[in-house]
Structure 1
Amino acid sequence: MKQIFDPQIDEKDQKTDLDDIQGKLNEITSILVEQQTEQLRHYEWIEQNISQRFKSFKIHLQQNIDRIHDPVKAQDFVKEEQAFLHIPYHDLIQGTLIGQGGFGDVYRGRWLSRDHEVVIKKVRIQYLHDNHRKDLVNEISMMYQIRYDHILNIFGGCMEPENYALIVEYMSLGSLYDVLKEQTLQLSWTDRWSIAYQMTKGINYLHKLQKAIIHRDIKSLNILLKENGKDFLTKIADFGLAEIRHETMRQSSYNPFVGTLQWKAPELLEMGRHTEASDVYALGVVLWELGTGCEAYKGVDAQTIDTFVRRGDRLKIPINIPKSFSDIISRAWAQEPLQRPTCQHLLNLMKDVSSEVAIKEKLKTAAASTDRRIVEEATTGSLSPQQHSTRYILVFSADGDLTFVYLF
């Protein structure tokens, strides 16, 4: 097959071979599908979606033929392929449905040529005209180039009709929304501060790019988690998808704004534009979810939420939430956009407070392990191997870990 498309071979022979392939395209495609299925039979789900893999092989065979017949079209293919890694659908195994987003269905899957577990985010778009296709390519290219610890990695995209999809990394714990709803994890306040700090860093990174990116759809469903040793790694997903959302809404009856009202800033409810401040408002609602472990506005209808937020009311923050965390929530979801802090400002606030929380939790753990009462007044400065206060002495091990708290 490689020889057929080799530009070095005799042009006349090549044309004859291509004409033969064109006339037997379905037959050749069937052989390719059968060979792949046989070679990869050990993979779960490989025998599913055979018809879609057939279409994928056929599309790519036809594209290779078109490249040779039409030099202009060949240049268009090259430009598009340079924008981001194109992953053919036949190089993917689409597994179980794990979610539904504002623009498509989300599947757990495997990237065959890399033998790598991925997530396949299929877009509800059947066909793209050339101008929309270029816009979509530019959008995916922008997302593909961003590499940051707290931004979900995009490995590439599938640009085949009926199988438009983003191929992204798999986060084993799923979304923060699911973690809180299913109560699968017991989050300490150290965990909560860490998750809050990481997701704020991710959003801040987007805001601080040379050409700032407004996320536009920050919600707990788009905050993804996975275990990272004893801690949790947090990443922001679904940024920069304005063109995909627009085209999805145009081509389907699915409303991408259903279910996102809980995180919408008051100015957006009045047809205002998305800004960094509206992202910060949405972050404030996610912080409320993280702190309380509850679903925002659960069971409340859309009209009531709209009226409630517009008049400046907010969800009640329980008294058991630390005041420092409560203050950050209140500042982030302020009614007026100019009154909300930037993500960079929030990071500074979180960094100061989270270090205090970590010290206090370490003190509590140490005190409990020695069967002594918990010390409530923790030193917030740097701690030397033996540091005195008016209430306690801290004793550290050789590697710097706090081991005992003696009261006097």
Structure 2
Amino acid sequence: MAAEAVGAFQMANAQLTDLMASVEANKFQCQRLVTRSGMIGVFVDQIAGRPDLATPSIVVGIKLLEVAVLRCQEQLRAHTAPSWLRRVYESGTDTVSFEQLNRSLAESAKGINADLQVKQIFNPSDDETDRQQDLVDLQRREDEFVFKLSNHDEGLAAQYPAPADRVTAIRRQFQTILQECVPKPKEQRETADSLLEGFIVPYAELKLEKKLGGGAFGEVYLGWWRTDKVAIKVLKGGDNREFMNELKLMAKLRHPNVIQLMAVCLEQGHNALIMEYMQRGSLFDVLANQRVELDWPRRFRFASDIAKGMAYLIGQKILHRDLKSCNVMLREDLGAAKICDFGLSKMLQAKSTDVVGSIRWIAPELFRLEPNTEASDVYGFGMVLYELATRRLPFAEYNDKQVEEAVKKGERPIIPKDVPKGYADVIRVCWDQDPSKRPTFEKIVREQWLEPTTPVAPVAPASFAFPRVPSVAPGYFPQQFYLNPSTYPPALGPKPPPRHESRTIPIQVPQRSVSLAPGAMPRGVQVLPGQQVGRQPLPNYRGAEARVVSNEIPGLQVGQRLILQEAWSDGTARGIDPSNNQMFEFPIRVVRINAGAQNTYGGVPMQMQGYPVAQTVQYQWNRQ
């Protein structure tokens, strides 16, 4: 057993040494890993010659050393052709990764009782010298690096089609990354450490009150941190890569239209982000509540705030990749909107063709596995503008497969005629099928495409009364009252062709049989003269809120919140979970419908479509 472990470690060490010959960048730090691993290998060889030393715990320690060396191999491969250009472009001297690998080697060496050797081999001053030498080498090779990356990176070529723009962007990013790698004076390091101590807080300081929502990676709670009411996002457990990604991004963000990270807890089993709390909740919740009436100046304010927040993120070289109404939070007085949820976000330079996000907001090019870009976030922004205008989910009538097919063919939701023309033009140009024709967020903000010229009055807390939208002719909007007349419509250019709205894809829903005696109808449903007996649509419940009261349907849990899309006379319904946009079909008896709710996220009050109101509602409650 010991011989096998030693042999595997020695083979890994030999492969690591061979890789060193192909390293293109950060050679001093890579060579240090190879040297240290080789020195530890000498001690392992001594164990192999002394069977009395090869205890079970030592064998385990040798296996852990092999794992640490294999990780060092991955680091060296990242610094060989062709990946080294992208690695340096994103990480410079890659200090954090090298520190982690050296720490892993040192801890593993202690597992074979090599504590004395560890102190001699792992000298921090050697690491500092290696980093400085690698930094000087990269600075000296700046022109070589920029030339090679501009000519060999397909993602950057697609992002910056013009060679001159591409070279300028690469050089600017390269210089920024290297500047961040410059060692800081001792006083600066001590100040940074002090700030970090106040930023990382113990879990005991947090008090969770109630769950606000959740997703695949974590759950968000309303709670208290010291004397502040906050939103606390708690990692569910398991893989914490998404959590750490969100932490790294949020920690450096400071903007009035981006949710502020206040502190973080990193205790084992208690990873949590402490963020500012937005009392009004998400834009999705406000749009789904028909008691909240939104005038157009306020909708323009929300749209403008989202654009400003996204422009800031892009300026920080961050792609959101999941922009939707659920990830936009509103202040209690409805005076501002802020972007949140950066679990899926990526650095702008990171080439990623992952199809992530929520399908109703995913840009068409991502279905073709093209890289995520600012243009794909702009497409999602166009869908959010549609939500604001109509108070409807994009493609509300379609299932996920139908949404994908529609988007690929260039189909888009129909924009109602009473939406302001300038606003509708922004929607169309943002969700254009061609990513190159979509505007940048910087242009939208700079030219004030969505800036309201009418002041938006704050709303008193807990108030749901808003002035109604002025009555205007279809397709017309009093531009001088709500829009900035200096930028509409010339700033948008010619109106895009109406091909996106010329037709809709028919929904093919398989007919369902009704388990009833011949000629019978469910209790409480009255068939009016001329109506067909069978599976009939019940009132247009799209948007009505419901809560699950039974666990009999896979995927549905008691207390889970659903927004109904459709209901039928055979006792079945279809609804969407707003936390993850997943669609479910289920018997009505497994949910409790909010009897006082109107048709919320559908945009119009409930219409009973031929069924008497009292009898139909009685039927719903009898089925529970």
Q: Same fold by TM (over 0.5)? A: yes
| 1:220-248: CA deviation from partner (whole Å, max 9, x where unpaired) | 101100134xx5111010136458xxxxx
Shift of 1:90: 1.2
Q: Which residue of 2 aligns with 1:317?
A: 415
Q: Which residue of 2 aligns with 1:37?
A: none
CA distance in 1, matches of 2:247, 2:198: 7
Q: In the alignment, residue 342 of structure 2 is paired with which amino acid?
A: F
CA distance in 2, matches of 1:218, 1:324: 22
Shift of 1:160: 2.1
Cα contact 2:199–2:264 (8 A) shared by 1: yes
Q: Which residue of 2 aligns with 1:296?
A: 394
Shift of 1:376: 6.2
Stretch of structure 1 that moved more, 279-288 or 94-103: 94-103
Structure 1 residues 274, 352: closer, same or farther in 2, change over 3 A?
A: closer
Q: Which residue of 2 aligns with 1:268?
A: 366
Cα contact 1:154–1:167 (8 A) shared by 2: yes
Q: Which residue of 2 aligns with 1:223?
A: 328
Unpaired stretches in structure 1, ≥5 consecutive residues: 1-70, 244-255, 359-364, 369-374, 383-408
TM-score computed with the length of structure 2 as normaliser: 0.40
Q: Per residue, is there more strand in 1 or in 2? A: 1
Shift of 1:276: 0.5
| 1:101-131: CA deviation from partner (whole Å, max 9, x where unpaired) | 34211111111x3x11011111222366xxx
Residue 319 of structure 2 aligns to a residue whose secondary structure is coil
CA distance in 2, matches of 1:306, 1:217: 16
Q: In the alignment, residue 304 of structure 1 is paired with which amino acid?
A: Q
2:107 is equivalent to residue 107 of structure 1: no
| 1:160-216: CA deviation from partner (whole Å, max 9, x where unpaired) | 23322211110011110111012342111000111100110000001112xx11111
CA distance in 2, matches of 1:139, 1:100: 15
Match among 369, 372, 376 for residue 278 of structure 1? 376
**For residues 356-395 of structure 1, what are the structure 2 equivalents within 5 Å?**
378=480
Unpaired stretches in structure 2, ≥5 consecutive residues: 1-118, 123-188, 347-354, 457-466, 471-476, 486-624
Stretch of structure 1 that moved more, 80-89 or 165-174: 80-89
CA distance in 2, matches of 1:381, 1:326: 15
Shift of 1:84: 7.6
Match among 204, 208, 233 for residue 94 of structure 1? 208
CA distance in 2, matches of 1:88, 1:139: 19
TM-score computed with the length of structure 1 as normaliser: 0.59
Number of matched pairs? 271
CA distance in 2, matches of 1:300, 1:323: 26
| 1:3-55: CA deviation from partner (whole Å, max 9, x where unpaired) | xxxxxxxxxxxxxxxxxxxxxxxxxxxxxxxxxxxxxxxxxxxxxxxxxxxxx
Structure 1 residues 175, 184: closer, same or farther in 2, change over 3 A?
A: farther
Shift of 1:378: 4.8
Residue 332 of structure 2 aligns to a residue whose secondary structure is strand
Cα contact 1:282–1:333 (8 A) shared by 2: yes
CA distance in 2, matches of 1:235, 1:174: 11
Cα contact 1:80–1:137 (8 A) shared by 2: no
Cα contact 2:208–2:223 (8 A) shared by 1: yes
Structure 1 residues 85, 220: closer, same or farther in 2, change over 3 A?
A: same
Shift of 1:141: 3.8
CA distance in 2, matches of 1:120, 1:81: 21
Task: Choose 1 or 2 for highest CA Rg.
Answer: 2
Structure 1 residues 80, 304: closer, same or farther in 2, change over 3 A?
A: farther
CA distance in 1, matches of 2:426, 2:322: 20
Q: Which residue of 2 aligns with 1:330?
A: 428
Shift of 1:300: 1.8
Shift of 1:333: 0.4
Structure 1 residues 150, 123: closer, same or farther in 2, change over 3 A?
A: same
2:199 is equivalent to residue 85 of structure 1: yes
CA distance in 1, matches of 2:450, 2:212: 37
Cα contact 1:214–1:240 (8 A) shared by 2: no
CA distance in 1, matches of 2:328, 2:259: 9
CA distance in 1, matches of 2:404, 2:480: 43
Q: Which residue of 2 aligns with 1:67?
A: none
Greater relative contact order (CA < 8 Å, ≥ 6 in sequence): 1
Cα contact 1:85–1:155 (8 A) shared by 2: yes
Q: In the alignment, residue 206 of structure 1 is paired with which amino acid?
A: L
Structure 1 residues 376, 156: closer, same or farther in 2, change over 3 A?
A: closer
CA distance in 2, matches of 1:381, 1:86: 44
| 1:246-298: CA deviation from partner (whole Å, max 9, x where unpaired) | xxxxxxxxxx958x111100111122221111000000000000011112222
| 1:281-340: CA deviation from partner (whole Å, max 9, x where unpaired) | 000000000011112222421110000001111010000100000000000001111010
Cα contact 1:280–1:342 (8 A) shared by 2: yes
Q: Which residue of 1 aligns with 2:251?
A: 144
Cα contact 1:97–1:105 (8 A) shared by 2: yes
CA distance in 1, matches of 2:271, 2:448: 39
**For residues 331-346 of structure 1, what are the structure 2 equivalents within 5 Å?**
331-346=429-444
Residue 453 of structure 2 aligns to a residue whose secondary structure is helix
Structure 1 residues 347, 306: closer, same or farther in 2, change over 3 A?
A: same
Cα contact 2:386–2:415 (8 A) shared by 1: yes
Cα contact 1:214–1:276 (8 A) shared by 2: yes
Shift of 1:79: 6.7
Cα contact 2:382–2:431 (8 A) shared by 1: yes
Residue 419 of structure 2 aligns to a residue whose secondary structure is coil
2:339 is equivalent to residue 236 of structure 1: yes
